[in-house]
Structure 1
């Protein structure tokens, strides 16, 4: 310990500001919640807290000991959030797989349409098509529209029957 009181006070002031600066950097860089309370040699209290000293102390409960109920509540909340995120992830994976399947079906329909022709009319700008090609494309689009409407109706019927059956899942997404 520094023997002279005035030297001790000067050292305390300099080191206190250094500690507060380090605590502030820890909060800024790491997102830590921090409370720092320092008593001077003369008994005066100095404090730093992020978000505030009171908030950190309230979170801890009694100094030196975490409240068991607070810990259990935080763990339960964390598990609930994790379960919800896992469910959302699973649902999104299922939707992604369904969209990939739909994409493959559309590619197959397009391939079937374009197979019997010299060039695929869907790839050619409309202003470059002849009148006969425009009529062919119109007929193909009408046929494709009929197939899509039929496919959608079948999909909706399958979804509705899955939902009305016992144990049916309500997470099926209709398109």
Structure 2
């Protein structure tokens, strides 16, 4: 079926709106992270969900980017003091950038391991179900009767083989061999 072009308009249904927000939010955060890594920019995204919950993403962090943005129009001396401290130590920004990248890598690894664990749990449940079916079959009276029938058939076959090797009472081996020789 593929992707369809959708009309850009507000979603009316609140449930669909929340689902759309959740899906688009992760994509937007991913694109923002890629932009920050590829271009070396500092950015911050702050948004509120339809349920009025705040969500944010920042590289290297939302606070650092907000402080730099607010530095152009400071509202208090506290913001200025924080910004001055950050500029005095540019290594902190580099460290924060490196730590942010490491955190993203760890999050990706955690998600991969979570998917593996989910798959292993699924396989384990399937194996337990298979073992339960095997136990039911072993305790089945129909299967037990079939096994008894096969054992009886094997015993009868063994007896028939033994009888074929040993002569029947009253008939000697010589007469059987003489008759066979005469026919040849």
Query: Could you say which TM-score interval applies, normalised by the shorter chain?
Result: 0.3 to 0.5
Normalising to structure 1: TM-score of the pair?
A: 0.36
Over alpha carbons, which structure has the higher Rg? 2
Normalising to structure 2: TM-score of the pair?
A: 0.34
